[in-house]
Structure 1
């Protein structure tokens, strides 16, 4: 299969809006049923060989929700063997929300109440999922392509993660922003600004350089690789980025952006993405005073005998 196949935002924006909300419905279950981890690492999804998964959660029973993006079905499985499944094609968000609750009940999951759940940070955040019959577009080919692109990007981010020996998040797929990311930490504590909400305080309680990929949205209608440093050090946007990449103003901060189609057009797309991620990381880490050399890790190896 082609590396980084085309996935223009305009070609599947209606389907993307629906699937994003499907993911948020499942994400609400993940938020309620998973053991809490620092920086909310318990909440995002991970990839499987056929789609995305919540990973096991809960204790009575332990269960998993998998979105099969080849057969376009949701599978809810309990550790005792009980299983419930339903299709996603032709289904509205309200219908998806109802079927997921029924599937959870069928495998014995109780005490996870998403009946009043609403979208997070989306234009219809005031409307419960249970009332959303508007979003019902589902192009199976586009959804499979989304998973294929996500899978390829996942491997590139895993390789990038292996170049750093410090505290690093998993490579994970965030359902609230619908991006895939990996975050490096200096572990220097960041005092929260006055009025910062609890979600943001936990996510950014330490200095970070976060790198990832998103599929586009109405404010930036193109898929792209990105990187940002938080808190943003002085002079970050003055740093040089590889050809085709740029600094994008996002409020009071800056985002390093490499458009997906620019990477696809490169002689070596994989190298182009790796060079961009490394350059954006160094731009933030050096200006923030990180021990860049001490935290470097060649090919995922820290054993001195192996690295000699």
Structure 2
């Protein structure tokens, strides 16, 4: 299978818009049913051998233990309880409204009671329209969804490899349903003094100094897939730091600077994975140097922290 297969946004924009909203329906169920973790780590999806999973939920809230999985090989949504009962339905041929209805019915059939506080999209153009009323988004091309999942799986492993080089506080590699990107975040654990006007979601996400590395499939603001990295809070002079490979660049976004390596440039590199890893490492070092992190002390070469094991024989 091709590494980093072609994924032009225009080719699957309608399917992506529908799938994004499907993901938000399930993500909001996860948000309502999972035990809260720092920086919202309980909310995102994790990858499986066939798609995405919420991971097990329930028990603490009186519900049976249950999991919701997107199967992007068979193209079904599968709701499973710990006693082996399951309800599933096809993902194709669904509008957001029918997907929402069938998901809630599947939960009910298994004795799972979940209340979504705001059953509408988050931070999307139609955020004022309930999922139950959205019959507009109904495109689902199975071939393109499979390719999305395959690319996501490949990027996931590159991020896992990058994550192995850091011994400090670090998030899992996870897929965010609200922004439809996959990321891994390193923390210095220094508290961030945020203005009182900052919303609660942002306050929790950025309560500690961090450097985040990830990949997204493109949107209206940046209409192509790309690898990215940012440092928050952004230290002065960050955009003056060198990035690798040569095709990488700093762009201005939301009043700050984002390191970007376009997917097309990574695909055309002699070794795409090495190019992406070099990009993530250069962007991390740029932020860590400018913010004064203990780069040597937080290093974890080859995923090893024991000095005796690191030392050459």
Using the size of structure 1 for normalisation, the TM-score is 0.99
Which of 274, 277, 295 aligns to 1:274? It is 277
Q: How does 1:42-191 map to 2 (within 5 A)?
A: 42-59=42-59, 60-110=63-113, 112-114=114-116, 117-191=119-193
CA contact (8 A) 1:83 1:106 kept: no
2:18 is aligned to 18
CA contact (8 A) 1:116 1:129 kept: no
Q: CA deviation at 1:194?
A: 2.6
What CA distance in whole angstroms lies between the structure 2 residues aligned with 1:19 and 1:216? 14
Q: CA deviation at 1:116?
A: 5.3
Using the size of structure 2 for normalisation, the TM-score is 0.97
Q: Deviations over 1:93-116 (max 9, x none)?
A: 000000000000111101x11385
Q: Does 1:27 align with 2:19?
A: no
Secondary structure, in 3 states, of the residue corresponding to 1:207?
strand
Unpaired runs of 5+ residues, structure 1, are none
Secondary structure, in 3 states, of the residue corresponding to 1:267?
coil
Give the ranges of 4+ consecutive aligned residues of structure 1 lying more than 2 Å apart after TM superposition.
none
Q: CA deviation at 1:241?
A: 1.1
2:253 is aligned to 250
Task: Please give the root-mean-square deviation of Cα atoms over the aligned residues, in Å.
Answer: 0.8
Q: Deviations over 1:133-160 (max 9, x none)?
A: 0000000000000000000000000000
What CA distance in whole angstroms lies between the structure 2 residues aligned with 1:170 and 1:29? 20
Q: Deviations over 1:39-96 (max 9, x none)?
A: 0000000000000000001112010000000111000001122210010101000000
Unpaired runs of 5+ residues, structure 2, are none
Secondary structure, in 3 states, of the residue corresponding to 2:303?
coil
CA contact (8 A) 1:53 1:65 kept: yes
How many residues are treated as equivalent by the alignment? 307
1:224 is aligned to 226
1:39 is aligned to 39
What CA distance in whole angstroms lies between the structure 2 residues aligned with 1:51 and 1:91? 18
What CA distance in whole angstroms lies between the structure 1 residues aligned with 2:241 and 2:196? 29
